[in-house]
Amino acid sequence: MRMLGNPSGTQAFGVRLSGVRKSFGSVVAVDGLDLEIARGEVVALLGPNGAGKSTTIDMILGLARPDEGSVLVGDVTPAAAVARGDVGAMLQTGGVIQDISVRELVGMLASLYPSPLDVDDVLRRTGLTDVSSRRASKLSGGQTQRVRFALALVSNPQLLVLDEPTVALDVEGRHEFWEAMRAFTDGGRTVLFATHYLEEADAFADRVVLMAQGRVVADGPATEIKALVGMRTIRATLPGVALEGLEALPGVRSAQRNGAAVSLQCDDADVAIRALLPAYPQARDLEIVGAGLEQAFRLLTAGEPQEVAR
């Protein structure tokens, strides 16, 4: 398993999963998962479909029990943490009550917890003040997603668990959502979120946990995970040159063309650039960039986990 400077270390943890396994019939969803999330961390849980992310989230929320191993939220079971209002969740599945207003719905949930946030403050934080008197049945998809966020916040949780939280939001709505999340987490709350928008993980998470085949295959800051793949891209303006010749250059793994521009995916960009310039002196507008999180995601989830020194 690739383990990169796990920041939890000996700090007090917000969540701990130890040796967790979960199967559904013959399908192994989570396979011996060990994971600690410290209090105050913002952690992105990434992985392809079927990697075990949603099952892991369900076990943290007490919606599923592990076949083996243990799950703790703080110092108690997930069910106990949820019951005392320490956990807020925003999931992909499940609806909201349709025939009451947004304010009534948020207020009703607030009444179930010992120390809820102020309802008006939650509506303001989540951009729902203008539609607070509207029935949930009259909301758009993006507004309904905001209501889900408000319901997750109102219990005043110490741990916030979000499963694809911005999936129904437009670009502006996604920006506003993460602005609200930043304000909410300034007080040291713990956040675990799963997303398919890798740029959100790159921009917002303190730490990225990458899962594949029910296991953690990389764990660390996004910058370190991107560095793991050891690949850089050379971009240049180079019209009229066959891709086959570029792919034959030492250090180059593959080449792509977009009009007059070419992109060379390189195992060794230093060697590749030294070979490129003498062979193609007409190349101009050269740029060398490191691997992005999306590229690292694809490469690291393509094969079996590997051990990497910590």
Residues 6+ apart with CB under 8 A from 282: 238
Residues 253 and 205 in one domain: no
Q: Which among 300, 289, 305 has a CA at the least distance from the CA of 46? A: 300
Phi, psi of 163 (to 5 degrees): -110, 105
- Indicate whether 164 and 266 sit together in one domain: no
Cβ contacts of residue 103 below 8 Å, gap of 6+? 119, 123, 132, 133
Mark whether 215 and 266 lie in a shared domain: no
Whole-model pTM? 0.76
pLDDT reported for residue 251: 93
Question: Quick one: 68 and 170 in the same domain?
Answer: yes
pLDDT tens figures, 178-237:
888 888 777 778 999 998 888 888 888 999 999 999 999 889 888 888 777 767 899 999
The verdict on 64 and 79 lying in the same domain is: yes
pLDDT at 5 over 60: no
The total number of structural domains that make up the chain: 2
d(C-alpha 288, C-alpha 270), whole Å: 10
Range of the domain at 222: 2-86+157-226
Indicate if the pLDDT at residue 304 is higher than 70. no
Residue 142 maps to a domain: no
Q: Is the pLDDT of residue 168 over 80?
A: no
The CATH number of whichever domain residue 219 belongs to comes to 3.40.50.300
Shared domain for 251 and 202, answered yes or no, is: no
Residue 208 within any structural domain of the chain: yes
pLDDT in tens, 253-266: 999 999 999 999 88
Whichever domain contains 278, its CATH number is 3.30.70
Q: What is the CA radius of gyration of the chain?
A: 23
The answer to whether 55 and 63 have CB atoms below 8 angstroms apart is no
Residue 139, by phi and psi: left (phi above 0), alpha (psi -120 to 50) or beta?
beta
Same domain, 78 and 203: yes
Tell me: do 219 and 242 sit in the same domain: no
